[in-house]
Amino acid sequence: MINKNELQSVINKYYLNGLNESVKWTVNDNALDINFQSPNKDMIGRVIHTNFPLRDSEFAVFDTSKLSKLLGIASGDVALELEQIQKVFTKLIISDLNYTLNFALTDLIMITDDVGNATDPDNYEIESKLSSEEITAIIRAHNALESDNVIVKIDRDLDGEDVLVLSFGDNSNHTNKIDYQVPNTTLENVAYGTQIPFNSSLIKVILNNNKDAEEAILSINAKGLIKLNFKSEDWESIYYIIRKVDF
């Protein structure tokens, strides 16, 4: 059994408000592992749940939006079961006290196997521990402008110390902007004046779907890579985002 809200949260962490509809679920020794990639390949990610109540299996979820709608009518704890014809898993059955939901699975050949593999660089020059307050502040800054652009930059505070600033808005002197200084940040061998553009909307939707994390770390490589890592008792999600090239 797994709580319906926890299962929905796991799904949301890869679905990302419709960004990733079709993925492969792999279960081994009650550990669920889902790898995914954004359609334009500027982000790859992974979601792991280490206490997942399903037998060893590998199956394709082609239409995550329909799975989420089905799951939406369930409540409390749900039981998960797979229906199989020969070696092919054909249905995911979700049951609570009142409903039995049958979700049709797809042949694995319908799911692309070219999800990229992220390799951590030798060093992340910038690292921030994000509390729920920082996550909320970043989401609010994005929402206030609704711009797709955020520049990661190294600036100086009133004491002359180098600090991490997220600058939201278009790259023009004649547009509205919001600068947010990120606390709890460690800087190592990164130059004052460094500026790296990223997709603000993508960062916002990732943060929104991981607000239930017990631990969140933002790591930035100055060559143009963000790593967002979220953890809780039974799950972990990891996202790699590459810099914008057309800014």
Which fold does the domain 126-242 belong to in CATH? DNA Polymerase III; Chain A, domain 2 (3.10.150)
Distance CA 193, CA 24 (A): 42
Three state DSSP letters for 147-172 = CCEEEEEEEECCCCCEEEEEEECCCC
Is residue 199 classed exposed, middle or buried when 0-12, 13-18 and 19+ CB atoms within 10 A define those classes? buried
- Give the residue, 112 or 198, on which the prediction is more confident: 198
Q: Looking at this protein, which amino acid is placed at residue 125?
A: E
Please list the helix, strand and coil fractions of the chain in percent, rounded to the nearest 5, in that order: 20, 40, 40
Confidence tier at 147 by pLDDT (50, 70, 90):
confident
30-66: pLDDT as tens digits: 999 999 999 999 999 999 999 999 999 999 999 999 9
Q: Count of residues for the chain? A: 247
Residue with tokens 């054909």: 90
Confidence tier at 247 by pLDDT (50, 70, 90):
low
For residue 240, which phi and psi values (nearest 5 degrees)? -115, 125
Question: Are residues 184 and 131 in contact, defined by beta-carbon separation less than 8 angstroms?
Answer: yes
Which fold does the domain 2-110 belong to in CATH? DNA Polymerase III; Chain A, domain 2 (3.10.150)
Beta bridge partners of 143: none
186-216: pLDDT as tens digits: 999 999 999 999 999 999 999 999 999 999 9
Confidence tier at 93 by pLDDT (50, 70, 90):
very high
| Segment holding 36, helix H or strand E | strand 31-37
Quote the pTM value.
0.95
160-182: pLDDT as tens digits: 999 999 999 987 766 799 999 99
129-143: pLDDT as tens digits: 999 999 999 999 999
What integer best gives the mean pLDDT of the chain?
94
- Give the residue, 178 or 116, on which the prediction is more confident: 178
Residue with tokens 């991490």: 164
Distance CA 207, CA 229 (A): 10
Distance CA 21, CA 39 (A): 10
User: Which residue spans of the chain are classified as CATH 3.10.150.10?
Assistant: 2-110, 126-242
**pLDDT score, position 118:** 74
